[in-house]
Chains A and B, each alone.
Chain A
């Protein structure tokens, strides 16, 4: 009897099955309540990540940017080679270098960045030129109704109504967190539309076209996102407003 017990194939409690089913159950709960848990975790971890000297916490999935691009690649341009074109329904089309933008009166915005896919980064510091200042410098012609943006990735487009474009919290940003906007964040120059979801803030900004009448919807709006992408009031989401 003792020998048989010692050599019989293993019996015991099915802990493996419990671990497996527990993980699947927790994951289902995470999918259902993850958006709430995420906010809670961000607040809980904020004091730790703020004091982390190793930099390891930047890998944690809290309060960090996800990098998206609609083309196969991340486009890039040198600060020296960069030119921003402002044209269309304006009296004086402009071609501005990075230095030209820096020479204009700067605007700092310190706001949350909210993505329509759910992630949010708190207190991101942007510096740039108000889009309204640029448009006024180019001289809006009567009947100018909207603004279209083109990215130098060759595919992405965005648009704003004239009323939205002239808001003080809409800037052409050349600096993020005190440094030139990096390539993965859409640098060297990108649009930053503070009150709207991230897809409105066209990365790798190449050209600004003023149009008479209603502007064409942008890349993601053609694919189902709301044209007026206000944070918390569009795309069926109820996030806290960012601006």
Chain B
């Protein structure tokens, strides 16, 4: 306790995710796990037979799916969304180093990464795409009477294939998080060890420490 309250110890941890971002992450995670588990029950025959209550499962799936964009939009809209907005613009932009990292499957030792690696950037873009695509195709499937018959087939086709891709990506995301406890911990508590940042995300470390140096000077 004493060590963490001393100024020196405080400087050794950097804020990686603010409170709003962390709440958003875990609310999103809960919603995604709900739509994915209900999807499995709707899609896999033996699971459907074991669970039963199909109409209830369908309703949960549909309503959680409709709710999916809400936490993101609420976090983006408010004054509490500064951290998220800054991170989204970081996730969007790929530097020359990012491309080199990506081409070498993360093995190029001379690459200097910013706050997020290209895998994390792709994951974020993919999830954003998934929310919109699944909401659109799911709506066509749910309210098919208002659309041409061919769209229903097409929407089901897209919804199913994207769902398979989403399962693979989410399993990968959870696997990566479990393999890096520091990183996972920072999504729970918000901060991460400065040494981790200096070694794994040198450009972000430089950004953060320069700002705090300047603040200290003024």
Does the CB pair B53–A24 fall under 8 Å? no
Does the CB pair B93–A15 fall under 8 Å? yes
> CB-CB < 8 A to A10: which residues of B?
90, 93, 95, 114-115, 203
Stretch from A34-42, A126-134, A163-171 that touches the partner: A34-42
Known: A34-B154, A61-B157, A74-B54. A184 touches B95 (CB 8 A): no
Does the CB pair B129–A15 fall under 8 Å? no
A32's partner among B154, B156, B210 (CB-CB below 8 A) is B154
How many angstroms between the C-alpha atoms of A23 and B123 in the bound complex?
13
B95's partner among A12, A19, A27, A30 (CB-CB below 8 A) is A12
Known: A15-B121, A34-B158, A72-B56. A59 touches B149 (CB 8 A): no
| Residue of B with least CB distance to A35 | B153
- Tell which of B137, B155, B157 has the most Cβ of chain A within 10 Å: B157
- Tell which of B53, B125, B154 has the most Cβ of chain A within 10 Å: B154
Does the CB pair B151–A24 fall under 8 Å? no
Check: B45 CB closer than 8 A to any chain A CB.
yes
How many angstroms between the C-alpha atoms of A209 and B48 in the bound complex?
30
Known: A13-B93, A15-B121, A34-B154. A74 touches B55 (CB 8 A): no
Check: A31 CB closer than 8 A to any chain B CB.
yes
Total contacting residues, chain B, CB less than 8 A: 56
Minimum Cβ distance to chain A for residue B84 (Å): 14
Does the CB pair B158–A16 fall under 8 Å? no
Does the CB pair B91–A184 fall under 8 Å? no
How many angstroms between the C-alpha atoms of A142 and B140 in the bound complex?
47
B121's partner among A16, A67, A184 (CB-CB below 8 A) is A16
Does the CB pair B126–A23 fall under 8 Å? yes
Q: Mark A41-78, 1 if CB is under 8 A from B, else 0.
A: 00000000000000000011100011111011110100
Check: B150 CB closer than 8 A to any chain A CB.
yes
How many angstroms between the C-alpha atoms of A133 and B150 in the bound complex?
38
How many angstroms between the C-alpha atoms of A13 and B90 in the bound complex?
11
> CB-CB < 8 A to B45: which residues of A?
65, 67, 182, 184-185
Does the CB pair A74–B48 fall under 8 Å? yes
Does the CB pair A15–B153 fall under 8 Å? no
Check: B188 CB closer than 8 A to any chain A CB.
no
Known: A67-B45, A72-B56. A16 touches B153 (CB 8 A): no
Does the CB pair B125–A9 fall under 8 Å? no
> CB-CB < 8 A to A125: which residues of B?
none
Known: A31-B137, A61-B161, A74-B49. A16 touches B54 (CB 8 A): no
Minimum Cβ distance to chain A for residue B77 (Å): 19
How many angstroms between the C-alpha atoms of A59 and B42 in the bound complex?
12
How many angstroms between the C-alpha atoms of A154 and B157 in the bound complex?
31
Other A-B pairs beyond A65-B45, A118-B154, 4, CB < 8 Å: A8-B207, A16-B121, A23-B132, A27-B137
A selection of 17 A-B contacts at a CB cut-off of 8 Å is: A7-B203, A7-B210, A10-B90, A13-B93, A16-B128, A20-B125, A23-B125, A24-B136, A31-B157, A34-B153, A34-B156, A72-B52, A117-B152, A118-B152, A118-B157, A184-B45, A184-B46
